[in-house]
Amino acid sequence: MSENADIKWYVVHTYSGYENKVRDSLLKAVENNGMQDKIVDVRIPVEEAVEIKNNKRRTVQRKLLPSYVIVKMEMTNETWYVVRNTRGVTGFVGSGNKPTPLSESDFATIFDAVPQTRLDIVVGDNVRILTGLFENFTGKVTAIDPKTQVLTVTVPMLKRETTVELAYDEVVREE
């Protein structure tokens, strides 16, 4: 089954907190109206994030674009009407009355995001090292690089300080 070239991704604005309701209502409307060939997919952009809080790791899902739903559809008067009149939808993203489709690169940027890790350690905190050569040593965090997810820790050793770079999951905060 080849895909219709007119089918593109569109961004739909919703009331805050209505993203899941809009997605479910829209999928139900598509099924009820037999429009599966015109409205192909409905997604809510979310990211998996690892939070490290109180020395516990947990994975959470966060909305990348709160108040937005991404719809893959062929833009016709009928599909526009169905989406626009779904409860919770405030409109399409675009200039004036004309919805603007997402480019493939913009779509890839939204959905190919690298998972982020949030941790409750800040510069100046004392941490205990869990693995490696400095296992069970305590040091002070001097820098945090969220892009590479690396901490720079200064460890006192043999009457001098040694700087070590460690991954987020290689340390725990000392209380």
- Do 41 and 113 sit in the same domain of this protein? yes
- Do 109 and 135 sit in the same domain of this protein? no
Q: Which of 117, 144, 160 lies at the terminal end of a domain, its last residue?
A: 117
- Do 27 and 81 sit in the same domain of this protein? yes
Q: Which residues are CB-contacts of 12 (< 8 A; sequence separation ≥ 6)? A: 22, 68, 69, 70, 71, 83, 89, 91, 92, 93
- Do 53 and 97 sit in the same domain of this protein? yes
Residue 83: inside a domain: yes
- Do 61 and 127 sit in the same domain of this protein? no
- Do 66 and 144 sit in the same domain of this protein? no
Q: Which domain holds residue 159?
A: 121-173
Q: Which of 101, 117, 133 lies at the terminal end of a domain, its last residue?
A: 117
Confidence (pLDDT) at 55: 67
Sign of CA dihedral 62, 144, 152, 124: negative
Confidence (pLDDT) at 115: 61
- Do 15 and 101 sit in the same domain of this protein? yes
Residue 1: inside a domain: no
- Do 112 and 130 sit in the same domain of this protein? no
| CATH code of the domain covering residue 96 | 3.30.70.940
Best CA proximity match to 71, nearest among 128, 118, 25: 25
Give the H/E segment covering residue 75.
none
Structure tokens at 151: 């901490």
Confidence (pLDDT) at 83: 93
- Do 109 and 168 sit in the same domain of this protein? no
Give the H/E segment covering residue 104.
helix 104-111
| CATH code of the domain covering residue 137 | 2.30.30.30
Q: How far is the CA of 174 from the CAs of 28, 119, 139, in angstroms?
A: 51, 14, 9
The per-residue pLDDT string of the chain (175 residues; one tens digit each, 9 = 90 and over) reads: 446 778 999 999 999 999 999 999 999 999 999 999 999 999 998 877 777 777 677 778 888 889 999 999 999 999 999 999 999 999 999 887 789 998 888 887 777 765 666 777 889 999 999 888 889 999 999 999 888 889 999 999 888 999 999 988 888 888 7
Where does residue 5 fall: left (phi above 0), alpha (psi -120 to 50 degrees), or beta otherwise?
alpha
Q: Which of 94, 117, 140 lies at the terminal end of a domain, its last residue?
A: 117
- Do 131 and 96 sit in the same domain of this protein? no
Best CA proximity match to 168, nearest among 114, 136, 115, 120: 120
Q: Which residues are CB-contacts of 120 (< 8 A; sequence separation ≥ 6)? A: 52, 53, 54, 173
Residue 125: inside a domain: yes
Q: For strand 68-74 and strand 7-14, is the pairing parallel, antiparallel, or unpaired?
A: antiparallel
Confidence (pLDDT) at 21: 95
Confidence (pLDDT) at 114: 59
